[in-house]
Amino acid sequence: MEKPLLNVKQAADYAGDDVSEKAIRKLLEDPNFYPRVNIGRRVFIHREMFDQWLKEQASPKKVSGF
């Protein structure tokens, strides 16, 4: 069974070769990054929410007014 929470290194590995730990840390600074989970002073990323977030980022955006 896969763990539901990922640390920064695990999240970077999970996201793929083009995603660095630095990029994950930058995402964690964004208040709109909802897969973030704080447990005490430690920060994790919820795997299922991260999957959903990645899918949302890959989806084409609607452009209004055109």
Distances in Å between the Cα of 61 and the Cα atoms of 16, 24, 43 are: 22, 22, 29
Ordered by start, the domain boundaries in the chain are 5-58
Write out the chain's pLDDT in tens, 66 residues: 789 999 999 999 999 988 999 999 999 999 889 999 999 999 999 999 999 999 998 877 776 665
pTM of this structure: 0.80
